Structure 1
Amino acid sequence: MQIRTPAVAGMFYPKTQQELRSTIKDCFLHNFGPGKLPPLPDGKNIIGVICPHAGYMYSGPIAAYSYYAISSLKPDLVIIIGPNHWGIGCNIAAMKDGLWRTPLGDVEVDTDAAVEINKATKNIELDFFSHTRDHSLEVQIPMLQEIYSHKFKILPIILIDQSYSAATNIGTSISKIAKNRKTVVIGSSDFTHYEENEFAHKQDKSLIEPILEMDVNEFYNILQKNQISACGYGAIASTIIACKELGATRGTLEKYATSGDVTGERSSVVGYASIIFS
């Protein structure tokens, strides 16, 4: 069985189990976090979320909002979609089988779901190598391990192709396989990159509006018109489409902040948003 070993442990998050658990706890209790520890007492009917994927010291508190919101759910399958920053491997790749290892242990890839989604669309290839170096999916998994005590499986999907047509294809295919399972969908993306703080807030506000309306056409229009540097835009769009087809009617912004808001260094920031679909 193939094991996807950590690529960014010790960089984006701590590499020891004890320190990682402590860091995740701090994300939830942080001034920019939800201020309370999971699980959420009253579970919401949440189908999917948008989550940032920077180092925990920057985006962890914002990501904690999405994880707090889904913490009382008990999904059998978590589908995680993110951008392929390295551009290696296939244009769109899921993992067929194996284990995804973090300092908190191993999570099993859902082979049945991978085979099903590959049959639903040949655009999603089954490839291990595509997943070996990137952080966009990896940083989500320790958070999931920490909020869920039950056994769950993952279906990681990583994207080089983030076009509108690809997102439509991915989102529709996800909805088909998710209908037969207790599933949560996670779209992994940061927002504006390396702009001044006030400008980043303005840019990201304009892009978040169509996300909350679940309007993918307008999302791509604003993305291109305002030249917004959200790295996982295809992951966001795929998540919107999947959640909409699975019955979600609205998005809710749980938290938005930039790295500058968190650290105080506001001259060149990255934007982060935690959004839920229900």
Structure 2
Amino acid sequence: MGAVRAPAVAGQFYPADPVLLADQVDALLAGAANPRQDAANPRHVPGNPRHAPAYVVPHAGYVYSGPTAAVAYAGLPRDTRRVVLVGPAHFAPLRGCAVASAEAWRTPLGEVPVEDAAALVDAGLVTVDDDAHAREHSLEVQLPFLQRVLAGSFGVLPIAVGSAAAGEVAAVISAALAPGSVLLCSTDLAHYEPDERARVQDAATLRAVVGLRSADVGVRDACGVFALRGLLAWAGTQGRTPTVLHYATSADTAGDASRVVGYAAVAL
């Protein structure tokens, strides 16, 4: 992919115009900071835990999952200088965890430097696989939020997670998290179910998340299941307590209740 990874989903999942993109992200963040307690924002939890070392965030188009993602980003420490991103590889077969060779990732808002992953590669914890990252949106869509939230320069370590045991992913997370880093685990929840059914399924998934029961998160419960299981395994070793900050389905934002996707923001 060369030294800089070009955006793969600008103009699809979020605006390609930098002004429109900045305005959209800022509006989402403002809405998260001042939530309306009505049907348009029915599952916001007031008093978000701030400065958590890890979060679960969704990764759909901003018009769908942006309000939920913004709730997590509203609690992110503004002085964060290093962000580890873990999420699924939707378009390339992958076993284990993979980083990309690019030295920076670009969005319409500018370039974000990629942290050196040589130590992880040398330890055999991750491989270098550009195909796993080239078309992937789950990590890319987090960058504009970070670019608008964080007050200074920062770096990211994007890690695509394929089929892997929870302990294997937890080991990668532990090795990747230097002091002061924040971890973002990117996943959506139920996919393309009727709204009522999706909410029941997602409620069970979130109970498993809050209980740190990684084995109870099924492959149909979250597209980022392997990253999420790894996060929960890591959190268990760290004594973290998950708190669900916000939950919604695409019916809350896009209006179609016949075939929805579920979204959650969780602080750990």
Give TM-score, length-normalised by structure 2.
Answer: 0.88
2:122 aligned to 115, 119, 123, which one?
A: 119
**Structure 1 equivalent of residue 39 of structure 2:** none
**Structure 1 equivalent of residue 224 of structure 2:** 232
Query: In structure 2, the residue corresponding to 1:149 is in which secondary structure?
Result: coil
One-letter amino acid matched to 1:19: L
1:44 and 2:50 correspond: yes
1:6 and 2:7 correspond: yes
1:78 and 2:83 correspond: yes
User: Hey, what's the Cα distance between the residues in 1 that align with 2:83 and 2:180?
Assistant: 9
**Structure 2 equivalent of residue 137 of structure 1:** 139
1:253 and 2:244 correspond: yes
Query: In structure 2, the residue corresponding to 1:22 is in which secondary structure?
Result: helix
**Structure 2 equivalent of residue 63 of structure 1:** 69
User: Hey, what's the Cα distance between the residues in 2 that align with 1:233 and 1:27?
Assistant: 26
Q: Residues 101 and 248 of structure 1: is their aligned pair in 2 closer, same or farther, counting only changes over 3 Å? A: farther
Q: Residues 266 and 34 of structure 1: is their aligned pair in 2 closer, same or farther, counting only changes over 3 Å? A: farther
User: Hey, what's the Cα distance between the residues in 1 that align with 2:167 and 2:19?
Assistant: 40
User: Hey, what's the Cα distance between the residues in 2 that align with 1:258 and 1:181?
Assistant: 34
- 1:64-89 Cα deviation digits (max 9, x unpaired): 0110111x342332110111110256
User: Hey, what's the Cα distance between the residues in 1 that align with 2:263 and 2:108?
Assistant: 24
- Does the 8 Å CA contact 1:53/1:188 hold for their aligned counterparts? yes
**Structure 2 equivalent of residue 187 of structure 1:** 185
| C-alpha deviation, 1:118, in angstroms | 2.0
One-letter amino acid matched to 2:135: R
One-letter amino acid matched to 2:199: H
**Structure 1 equivalent of residue 202 of structure 2:** 204
- Does the 8 Å CA contact 2:190/2:201 hold for their aligned counterparts? yes
Return 5+ residue gaps in structure 1 as ranges: none
- Two-structure CA RMSD over aligned residues (Å): 2.1
User: Hey, what's the Cα distance between the residues in 2 that align with 1:266 and 1:168?
Assistant: 36
**Structure 2 equivalent of residue 21 of structure 1:** 22
| C-alpha deviation, 1:176, in angstroms | 2.8
One-letter amino acid matched to 1:159: V
User: Hey, what's the Cα distance between the residues in 2 that align with 1:150 and 1:244?
Assistant: 31
User: Hey, what's the Cα distance between the residues in 2 that align with 1:207 and 1:89?
Assistant: 24
User: Hey, what's the Cα distance between the residues in 2 that align with 1:200 and 1:110?
Assistant: 37
User: Hey, what's the Cα distance between the residues in 2 that align with 1:208 and 1:173?
Assistant: 23
| C-alpha deviation, 1:248, in angstroms | 4.1
Q: Residues 58 and 92 of structure 1: is their aligned pair in 2 closer, same or farther, counting only changes over 3 Å? A: same
Query: In structure 2, the residue corresponding to 1:194 is in which secondary structure?
Result: strand
| C-alpha deviation, 1:255, in angstroms | 0.3
**Structure 1 equivalent of residue 234 of structure 2:** 242
User: Hey, what's the Cα distance between the residues in 2 that align with 1:248 and 1:20?
Assistant: 37
Query: In structure 2, the residue corresponding to 1:187 is in which secondary structure?
Result: strand
User: Hey, what's the Cα distance between the residues in 2 that align with 1:274 and 1:248?
Assistant: 19
One-letter amino acid matched to 2:174: S
User: Hey, what's the Cα distance between the residues in 2 that align with 1:90 and 1:55?
Assistant: 26
Q: Residues 160 and 232 of structure 1: is their aligned pair in 2 closer, same or farther, counting only changes over 3 Å? A: same
**Structure 2 equivalent of residue 92 of structure 1:** 97
2:60 aligned to 54, 63, 67, which one?
A: 54
- Does the 8 Å CA contact 1:90/1:130 hold for their aligned counterparts? no
- 1:78-108 Cα deviation digits (max 9, x unpaired): 1101111102566521124511000111111
| C-alpha deviation, 1:261, in angstroms | 1.5
**Structure 2 equivalent of residue 173 of structure 1:** 172
User: Hey, what's the Cα distance between the residues in 2 that align with 1:189 and 1:229?
Assistant: 10
- Does the 8 Å CA contact 2:85/2:158 hold for their aligned counterparts? yes
Q: Residues 65 and 105 of structure 1: is their aligned pair in 2 closer, same or farther, counting only changes over 3 Å? A: same
**Structure 2 equivalent of residue 35 of structure 1:** 34
One-letter amino acid matched to 1:237: R
Query: In structure 2, the residue corresponding to 1:6 is in which secondary structure?
Result: coil
Give TM-score, length-normalised by structure 1.
Answer: 0.85
One-letter amino acid matched to 2:103: G
**Structure 1 equivalent of residue 213 of structure 2:** 215
